Structure 1
Amino acid sequence: MAGGVKKPVNVFKLKDLNEPKNVFNWRLWFAVFSFGLLGAARGVDEGLISGAFNSKDFQRTINYASYDEATQTNIKANVSAMVQIGSVGGALFAFLICDRIGRIWATRLLCVVWILGIAIFMGHGGSLGAIYAGRFIAGLGVGQTPVVGPVYIAEIAPASVRGLCTCIFTGFVYLGIVLAYFANYGAQVNLGDTTHARWLAPTSLHIIFAGIVFILTFFQYESPRFLVKKGLHEKALEYMARIRHLPPDDLYVVSEVNAIRAAHEEELEAIRGASWTGILKEMFLIPSNLYRLYLSVMVQIMSQWSGAGSITLYAVDLFKILGITGKNESLLVTAVFGIVKLIAAILCALFLVDVIGRKRALLLGISLQAIAMIYVAGFLTAVPKLGVDDSYVLPASEKAASRGAIAMIYISGFGWALGWNSMQYLLTAELFPLRIRAVSTSLAMTLHFVNQYGNTRALPNMLLPVSQGGISPTGTFWCFAAVTILGGVWVWVSIPETQGRSLESMNRLFELPWYKVGLHGNDDADRQDEAINEKENGAFGTAGHVDDIDEKHTERESRV
């Protein structure tokens, strides 16, 4: 600010937050990589289960052909969605584990549960009950990954690259999907469709990823913010210094830890203690926190019912509806779909989310997704027998439009990876104060899996003809298009920009009335930042400030 005139901002440049170069070191990226791998849990499952279930050997082991068509549809939907059901429970109690034993041990525990469930699934012996149980138990582990992974990454990442770091988790979701799709395709081509190895070999990807993550946790440091929450301030300073690759007495490290401590003390002061009732009051009775919960809930509802997640899970079936014939061709087209999503996630992480901002990246992704859904819905409206009449053969005159619809599925996946799928983890992980971060993220991810289960479970029935109780493929894609457009309008009005803001300064985004936060919250927070910087002259973390924190902590403990 000079002469009352604000300098022009280049939106295609990272914010300069005066962070030392040392903070962008190998320890940070190794930690981000290790916890980002947790994203592969969902990706591997979404990419594997449809191909595994459709193998002849798997269907033979459960005597699938003996059931009528309606029962077959329900069995397929149940097997596919059982991980989502388990994930609801996993996400629900993830905060208890995260806040009791820490982010590191929570990760180790979820890996063990994940492996146990997959082992039961692989050794089901033809029992549907064992299949359901194994996938449910695996879901208990998988459901914790979007709580533990993004929270840990957001808590250790410097503010200027927090979006990139958290989106690496999303990138691994798509890496898991790509590897799963190609594992299915490779097994189909090289192992045949009638051997156990056809579905057992791809399914082993679960155990491989869980094992790698489990081992890597022994080379990581616990989150300094978790340690502050537990009162282990010296250990928090030590670990922060190691993660930042700076001496423990470096001004930047001391200031960062002191800011975390100060913010935590203010949270405790606001609700007079650390009891469960205090946490609930903080979540639901403080207007700014309640608005953040509202944002997290709506992000999960809008993103999941835009349909892109279920398209990933049932990609093989949907490409068949759009005119792809032949199992090998369908699996290959699906694998390419996974690559498209992976590329989009990388582009979002590297060039968008910390460059043009979360909100712009999200709106760009939603726009692409909406255009794609409208095209596919229009194509199916013009050719209504596709996916409804099994005897219908697509005429040559419709082949070009069919390939266009397939391309639009790719574009929808590209938009989903740029927008909703990245933001549903990033925004949830960075919005909340330290005291309620784990429990609020856990609640949001519980709703994530509830909605994902609902959408995943509903899609096979939605695709059925109206005469069989469905809404047909045409109605399904018009429904997804409508939700996507509605979600875009909601994002524009409701979500503030969080780019370049420290976790401890998020409160300033929510100082305005709720109906102004999305449109004006960022500008108002910037004005507050400028006022604070002028008042304090950028100084934070003096010895006197440390003494003040210790005195406040002692006073609060004596009152409690």
Structure 2
Amino acid sequence: MAGGVKKPVNIFKLKDLGEPSAIFNWRLWFAVISFGLLGAARGIDEGLISGAFNSKDFQATIDYDSYSTVEQADIKGNVAAMVQIGSVGGALFSFIICDRIGRIWATRLLCIVWAVGIIIFMTAHGSLGAIYAGRFIAGLGVGQTPVVGPVYIAEIAPASIRGLCTCIFTGFVYLGIVLAYFTNYGSEVNIGDTTHARWMVPTSLHLMFATIIFVLSFFQYESPRFLVKQGRVDEAVTNMSRIRHLPEHDQYIMHEIAMIRNSHQEEQEATMGAGKLGIFKELLLVPGNLYRLYLSIMVQFLSQWSGAGSITLYAPDFFSLLGVTGKTESLLASAVFGIVKLIASIICALFLVDVIGRKRSLLIGIALQCIAMLYIAGFLTANPRMGVDDSFVLPDKDIPASRAAIGMIYVSGFGWALGWNSMQYLLTAEMFPLRIRALATSISMTLHFGNQYGNSRAVPNMLLATDSGGISPKGTFWFFAAMTIIGGAWVWFSVPETSGRTLESMDRLFALPWYKIGLHGNKDADVLDDAAEAANEKATQAHTQEVEDRREDKA
């Protein structure tokens, strides 16, 4: 198929799909990195807000000390979670924007909205309402990033390294977290805690990244799959040729475009064409698509309530809870925590998702996270006054156990980065057919931010003592442990392996009976691939002839 081009040897692939070496070129990686940077939007906010909120100047700006303990927990939860609630709206409408104006212009638009919200937040001058509004508007932009970024990357990435490419988005989430944590730490040490600069300097990271992504978008090519969906086949061929670094008439380009067109035509025929409600009917009434939607919904629910996301958001508070003394020390511990998660995401991208597969990587991550949550829950059960009674002093004999609990925070972050946090983007971006991909990803990310909002808003109150309306720190971690165990069991029975499959071949996997998909899906679907390949070859020949006819007409 590649016309005699030497096949690459790649240790980062689960299996060799016969792809020519030219497609793994600098244009591909430049595009992947440019859109992967969108992941930093969430990472920066999750890493910044807790440290910024805990600065004395920010608290003085909103007269934080004048509120009761419960009111303070409510305000802290609201300020932290307002980006998430805004992101619900951003994710909900992103599919309309993505499918109307394309992946490139959607990126530019979200960068503008994101930056405007941050500017309002930074210039709120102590008005709690303006602070809420600014973070909500920023969320409208941030909420579009996990739809636009992973969808574009999945649509341009070769099948053999699609997992690696999509996980680069996740890696930038953690790069954003690391930069945010260390900026908070550096500002605390070098600027001090009593000036506006203490929290405004770290917050400016938002504006820096929004500007960089906006500028880089002008050097990228629109997704060929989006162009095929819009009926702009010639532009799709041109862009695919540029991204793949192969001539437009190369057999590989012809075959890839033909598969996309054939798959899109089959989707249209299966749903009697378009129509305003056509894609909704296709998503909800086609059994294979409904199962995919079920998977994406459960992934978002179980991942967010496993607790690791809230630990990222409130890392300084959790480290203080387990025995790290001093604000500077807890910020430094949080920064190291960010590095651990970044390293884990790199390991996941390079050596797991496309080498041992998505499902195994996810189960390994969940297992690590479960061990960590159970240990921390047991430690807090043995020391129930920690985090509840300010006068409590940990006995010397329990200090080693406290240090181990702190270490388990790092283990949970490592497991989260290997498992849930990588897969919640990757699986959603690669499972769905072209016609409904943006819609399905939008719904999934809406649920992502909805659950993240509920979790981030609830955790400050959950950590309160039971007489203050919470369930106490130990109860919170027992809850996280239980959700992690349930999540592991669900993944084992329900989630199929999707490594090495083209986006167009996913339909054959989800055409199987629902009870076979999770445990035996990939193996059984391989039987159907041979028959489909014959149809794709016919489509390739037809597309090649069509291109030749157009070239002759132009001549």
TM-score (norm 2): 0.95
1:151-192 deviation digits (Å, cap 9, x = unpaired): 000000000000000000000000000000000000000000
Please report how far the alpha carbon of residue 511 of structure 1 lies from its aligned counterpart in structure 2 after TM superposition: 2.0
- 1:104 counterpart = 2:104: yes
Please report how far the alpha carbon of residue 11 of structure 1 lies from its aligned counterpart in structure 2 after TM superposition: 11
CA distance in 2, matches of 1:23, 1:362: 28
Structure 1 counterpart of 2:5: none
**Contact map agreement 2:13 2:161 (CA 8 A) in 1:** no
Please report how far the alpha carbon of residue 339 of structure 1 lies from its aligned counterpart in structure 2 after TM superposition: 0.3
- 1:193 counterpart = 2:193: yes
1:283–1:52 CA distance, 2 compared to 1 (3 A)? same
1:230–1:471 CA distance, 2 compared to 1 (3 A)? same
- 1:358 counterpart = 2:358: yes
Structure 2, unpaired ranges of 5+ = 1-9, 549-555
**Contact map agreement 1:462 1:470 (CA 8 A) in 2:** yes
Once the two structures are superposed, the pairs formed by residues 410-425 of structure 1 within 5 Å of their partners are 410-425=410-425
CA distance in 2, matches of 1:164, 1:249: 28
Structure 1, unpaired ranges of 5+ = 1-9, 551-560
CA distance in 2, matches of 1:435, 1:301: 25
Structure 1 counterpart of 2:426: 426
1:356-415 deviation digits (Å, cap 9, x = unpaired): 000000000000000000000000011111011011011211111001001101000000
Please report how far the alpha carbon of residue 14 of structure 1 lies from its aligned counterpart in structure 2 after TM superposition: 2.7
Structure 1 counterpart of 2:267: 267
Once the two structures are superposed, the pairs formed by residues 208-247 of structure 1 within 5 Å of their partners are 208-247=208-247
Structure 1 counterpart of 2:161: 161
CA distance in 2, matches of 1:12, 1:233: 32
Please report how far the alpha carbon of residue 548 of structure 1 lies from its aligned counterpart in structure 2 after TM superposition: 8.7
Structure 1 counterpart of 2:182: 182
CA distance in 2, matches of 1:369, 1:432: 28
**Contact map agreement 1:225 1:236 (CA 8 A) in 2:** yes
Structure 1 counterpart of 2:542: 544
**Contact map agreement 2:259 2:540 (CA 8 A) in 1:** no
1:286-324 deviation digits (Å, cap 9, x = unpaired): 000000000000000000000100110011111111011
CA distance in 1, matches of 2:111, 2:404: 41
Please report how far the alpha carbon of residue 249 of structure 1 lies from its aligned counterpart in structure 2 after TM superposition: 0.2
Please report how far the alpha carbon of residue 499 of structure 1 lies from its aligned counterpart in structure 2 after TM superposition: 0.1
CA distance in 2, matches of 1:543, 1:497: 31
Once the two structures are superposed, the pairs formed by residues 392-411 of structure 1 within 5 Å of their partners are 392-411=392-411
Q: Which amino acid aligns with 2:425?
A: Y
- My pick for the range that moved more, 523-532 or 86-95, is 523-532
Structure 1 counterpart of 2:142: 142
**Contact map agreement 1:262 1:549 (CA 8 A) in 2:** no
Structure 1 counterpart of 2:386: 386
Structure 1 counterpart of 2:453: 453
1:489–1:548 CA distance, 2 compared to 1 (3 A)? farther
**Contact map agreement 1:306 1:484 (CA 8 A) in 2:** yes
**Contact map agreement 1:146 1:425 (CA 8 A) in 2:** yes
Please report how far the alpha carbon of residue 13 of structure 1 lies from its aligned counterpart in structure 2 after TM superposition: 5.2
Structure 1 counterpart of 2:371: 371
Structure 2 counterpart of 1:348: 348
CA distance in 2, matches of 1:46, 1:395: 33
Structure 1 counterpart of 2:493: 493
Q: Which amino acid aligns with 1:406?
A: I
**Contact map agreement 2:238 2:248 (CA 8 A) in 1:** yes
CA distance in 2, matches of 1:466, 1:64: 23
**Contact map agreement 2:13 2:160 (CA 8 A) in 1:** no
CA distance in 2, matches of 1:152, 1:75: 36
Please report how far the alpha carbon of residue 280 of structure 1 lies from its aligned counterpart in structure 2 after TM superposition: 1.4
CA distance in 1, matches of 2:28, 2:399: 49
Please report how far the alpha carbon of residue 528 of structure 1 lies from its aligned counterpart in structure 2 after TM superposition: 1.6
1:164–1:11 CA distance, 2 compared to 1 (3 A)? closer
Q: Which amino acid aligns with 1:275?
A: G
Please report how far the alpha carbon of residue 47 of structure 1 lies from its aligned counterpart in structure 2 after TM superposition: 0.2
CA distance in 1, matches of 2:525, 2:12: 20
CA distance in 1, matches of 2:69, 2:462: 15
Please report how far the alpha carbon of residue 547 of structure 1 lies from its aligned counterpart in structure 2 after TM superposition: 6.2
Structure 1 counterpart of 2:309: 309
**Contact map agreement 1:261 1:549 (CA 8 A) in 2:** no
1:134-154 deviation digits (Å, cap 9, x = unpaired): 000000000000000000000
1:63–1:272 CA distance, 2 compared to 1 (3 A)? same
Structure 1 counterpart of 2:337: 337
Structure 2 counterpart of 1:553: none
Structure 2 counterpart of 1:83: 83
CA distance in 2, matches of 1:485, 1:208: 39
**Contact map agreement 1:106 1:148 (CA 8 A) in 2:** yes
1:450-486 deviation digits (Å, cap 9, x = unpaired): 0000000000111011111111000000000000010
1:220-267 deviation digits (Å, cap 9, x = unpaired): 000000000000000000000000000000000011011100100110
CA distance in 2, matches of 1:314, 1:44: 13
| Secondary structure of 2:125 counterpart | coil
Structure 2 counterpart of 1:296: 296
Please report how far the alpha carbon of residue 12 of structure 1 lies from its aligned counterpart in structure 2 after TM superposition: 8.2
**Contact map agreement 1:248 1:254 (CA 8 A) in 2:** yes
| Secondary structure of 1:276 counterpart | coil
- CA RMSD of the aligned region, Å? 1.7
Q: Which amino acid aligns with 2:516?
A: K
| Secondary structure of 2:98 counterpart | helix
Q: Which amino acid aligns with 1:84?
A: Q
Structure 1 counterpart of 2:63: 63
Please report how far the alpha carbon of residue 543 of structure 1 lies from its aligned counterpart in structure 2 after TM superposition: 3.6
Q: Which amino acid aligns with 1:342?
A: L
CA distance in 1, matches of 2:299, 2:541: 42
1:89-121 deviation digits (Å, cap 9, x = unpaired): 000000000000000000000000000000000
Q: Which amino acid aligns with 2:396?
A: A
Please report how far the alpha carbon of residue 512 of structure 1 lies from its aligned counterpart in structure 2 after TM superposition: 1.8
Q: How many residues align?
A: 540
| Secondary structure of 2:324 counterpart | coil
| Secondary structure of 1:389 counterpart | coil
1:366–1:540 CA distance, 2 compared to 1 (3 A)? farther
**Contact map agreement 1:57 1:198 (CA 8 A) in 2:** yes
1:542–1:480 CA distance, 2 compared to 1 (3 A)? closer
CA distance in 2, matches of 1:354, 1:106: 28
1:42–1:13 CA distance, 2 compared to 1 (3 A)? closer
Q: Which amino acid aligns with 2:515?
A: Y
Q: Which amino acid aligns with 1:544?
A: A
Please report how far the alpha carbon of residue 525 of structure 1 lies from its aligned counterpart in structure 2 after TM superposition: 0.9
- My pick for the range that moved more, 61-70 or 476-485, is 61-70
1:512-557 deviation digits (Å, cap 9, x = unpaired): 2112210111111112224545x56x8455443556999xxxxxxx
| Secondary structure of 1:195 counterpart | coil
Structure 2 counterpart of 1:558: none
Q: Which amino acid aligns with 2:16?
A: D
% same residue:
73
Please report how far the alpha carbon of residue 276 of structure 1 lies from its aligned counterpart in structure 2 after TM superposition: 2.0
1:333-375 deviation digits (Å, cap 9, x = unpaired): 0100000000000000000000000000000000000000000
**Contact map agreement 2:262 2:539 (CA 8 A) in 1:** no
**Contact map agreement 2:14 2:357 (CA 8 A) in 1:** no
CA distance in 2, matches of 1:261, 1:35: 24
